[in-house]
Amino acid sequence: MYKKLVDLYAGRELSTELEIEMYQAAQQNPELALEMTQLRDTVDGLHQLAPIEFTEETSQRILMKIYAKGIEIQQPSPVPFHLQYQLPIQS
């Protein structure tokens, strides 16, 4: 039962109330506290892996590969600033 709860705790899927209960249980149980910390640190470590570089050069190389197959990707033109927001007209 605790194993399942620790899995949910590590992925931040527990409600606040249950998390508080888990903290309280962990205070009485060092083994549980260690498992909770280690598993959450592991998930956090994964989240820190996120930024793989996607540079303009990478994007251009992908577009060139598509172009080499006879398809030209046309980038949509950005929406002009004056069309992005509707300003109230003062009477």
Partner 1 sequence: MPNDALKDSLAEKRWLSALSKGDPTALGGLYEMYGERIFRYAYRMLGNRTDAEDATAETFLRVLRRSSELRADGAFRTWLFRITRNLCIDKLRQHKLLELPPDAMYSVSDDRATLRLTVHQALSELPIEYREPLMLCDLEDLAAKEAAEVLKISVPALKSRLYRGRRALKDKLQGTVDIK
Q: Taking CB under 8 A as the rule, does residue 62 contact partner 1?
A: yes
Figure out which of the listed residues 16, 30, 52, 85 binds partner 1, where binding follows CB under 8 A. Answer: 52
Which CB sits closer to partner 1, 21 or 41?
41
Figure out which of the listed residues 75, 84, 86, 91 binds partner 1, where binding follows CB under 8 A. Answer: 75
> CA-CA distance, 50 to 58, in Å (whole number)?
17
3-state class (DSSP) for residue 69: coil
Distance set, CA 81 to CA 25, 45, 86, 87, 88 (Å): 55, 39, 10, 11, 15
Figure out which of the listed residues 15, 17, 49, 79 binds partner 1, where binding follows CB under 8 A. Answer: 49
Q: Taking CB under 8 A as the rule, does residue 46 contact partner 1?
A: yes
CB contact burial 43-65 (16+ within 10 A = b; e otherwise): eeeeeeeeeeeeeeeeeeeeeee
Q: Which residues bind partner 1 (CB under 8 A)?
A: 7, 10-11, 34, 37-39, 41-43, 45-54, 58-59, 61-63, 65-66, 69, 71-77
